[in-house]
């Protein structure tokens, strides 16, 4: 059986919800991640697909800060 | 053409930054931002009070390995110089809080969230016990300058004094230059797959913890203001 891609593993873990498709560019990025990076995403329970969609929906004309700009 | 080191790192962060943007947006677009803003500045202070100490620790860890490790050797001077550039920014934030009537001693008395402690604390682990290069992903996550236009809107929306946003405006002006310098440094380092993996893991973890810092801030505000329902104002 062929090894699962990172995208498939993250879909299985619920990190990329099956109903949301990542762009081809993001899929390519995800598939270059190491197993340790994939594990870190799963550990943090970050929802990539959901989050990417929210970014589009809630973008403003001038983006709000998202870090502390230390 | 192959992507540069900084492009690889930023590409990974962009995958997860939407969650951070959402968490930060819940705060910055809160309908009661004027009341929440002192808590936001105090939270920022709880994290950035550790900036210079963590930069100095990263420099020390890198210097200790520099003779045998070209990545560490390449980081030392940059970290030392950047620690000087970041000096007193935490104090400036306390000054901004004073403009809002919050005394410095009260800001120091406030107990930071566990997420803030974890966000900073894990950096020490990576630097001391894995490799100082990990610190660079924390820096890439944290140093994302605000836009002056957004800050102007926030002043208008809240009616708060411009002086309370002074440090934010400073970062909006200076940080783009810092970002360029940072990318230049990262691109100059002889990173291998192991280093890139460390950078990615710490970037994902740092984004997650920083998002939790925002979430904790909002929870704390809503607990102390039971009538302040979380209502994200879509821009």
- Tens of pLDDT, residue by residue over B100-148, are 999 999 999 999 999 999 999 999 999 999 999 999 999 999 988 788 9
In this complex, do B144 and A36 lie within 8 Å of one another by their Cβ atoms?
no
B154-209 confidence digits (pLDDT tens): 999 999 999 999 999 998 888 888 899 999 999 999 999 999 999 999 999 999 99
Helix axes B5-28, B166-188, angle to 10 degrees: 160
Kindly report the pTM of this predicted structure: 0.90
Q: How far apart are alpha carbons B41 and B73 in whole angstroms?
A: 35
Other beta carbons within 10 Å of A36: 13
B7-46 confidence digits (pLDDT tens): 999 999 988 888 888 899 999 999 999 999 999 999 999 9
Q: How far apart are alpha carbons B213 and B119 in whole angstroms?
A: 8
| CB nearest to B17's CB, from A57, A66, A69 | A66
3-state DSSP helix/strand/coil % of chain A, to nearest 5: 50, 0, 50
- Whether the CB-CB separation of B206 and B25 falls below 8 Å is answered with no
Q: Which two tokens stand for residue B27?
A: 């705060």
Asked if residue B232 has pLDDT above 50, the reply is: no
Count of A-B CB contacts under 8 Å: 122
Burial class (CB in 10 A: 0-12, 13-18, 19+), B32: middle
The proportion of chain B whose per-residue pLDDT surpasses 70, expressed as a percent, equals: 97
In this complex, do A41 and B204 lie within 8 Å of one another by their Cβ atoms?
yes
The alpha helices in chain B, defined as continuous H runs, are: 5-28, 33-48, 51-65, 70-85, 89-99, 104-109, 114-129, 135-142, 148-158, 166-188, 193-224
In this complex, do B149 and A62 lie within 8 Å of one another by their Cβ atoms?
yes
Residue A56: its pLDDT value, please? 45
């Amino acid at each position: 059986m062929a090894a699962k891609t990172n995208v498939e593993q993250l879909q299985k873990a619920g990190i990329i919800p099956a109903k949301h498709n990542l762009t081809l560019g993001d899929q390519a990025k995800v598939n270059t991640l190491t197993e340790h990076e994939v594990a870190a995403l799963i550990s943090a329970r970050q929802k990539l697909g959901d989050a990417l969609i929210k970014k589009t929906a809630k973008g403003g004309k001038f983006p709000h800060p998202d870090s502390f700009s230390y | 053409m192959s992507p540069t080191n900084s492009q690889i790192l930023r590409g990974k962060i962009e995958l997860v930054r939407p969650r951070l943007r959402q968490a930060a947006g819940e705060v910055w677009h809160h309908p009661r931002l004027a009341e929440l803003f002192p808590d936001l500045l105090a939270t920022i202070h709880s994290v950035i009070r550790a900036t210079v100490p963590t930069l100095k620790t990263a420099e020390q860890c890198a210097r200790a390995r520099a003779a045998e490790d070209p990545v560490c050797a390449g980081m030392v001077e940059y970290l030392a110089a950047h620690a000087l550039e970041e000096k007193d920014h935490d104090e400036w934030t306390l000054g901004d809080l004073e403009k809002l009537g919050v005394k410095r001693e009260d800001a120091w008395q406030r107990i930071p969230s566990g997420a803030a402690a974890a966000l900073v604390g894990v950096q020490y682990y990576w630097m001391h016990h894995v490799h100082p290069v990990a610190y660079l992903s924390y820096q890439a996550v944290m140093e994302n300058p605000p836009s002056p236009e957004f800050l102007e809107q926030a002043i208008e929306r809240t009616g708060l004094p411009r002086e309370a946003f002074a440090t934010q405006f400073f970062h909006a002006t200076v940080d783009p230059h810092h970002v360029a310098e940072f990318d230049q440094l990262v691109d100059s380092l002889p990173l291998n797959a192991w280093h890139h993996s460390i950078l990615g893991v710490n970037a994902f973890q740092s984004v997650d913890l920083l998002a939790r810092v925002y979430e904790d801030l909002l929870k704390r505000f809503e607990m102390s203001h039971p009538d302040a329902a979380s209502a994200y104002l879509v821009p």
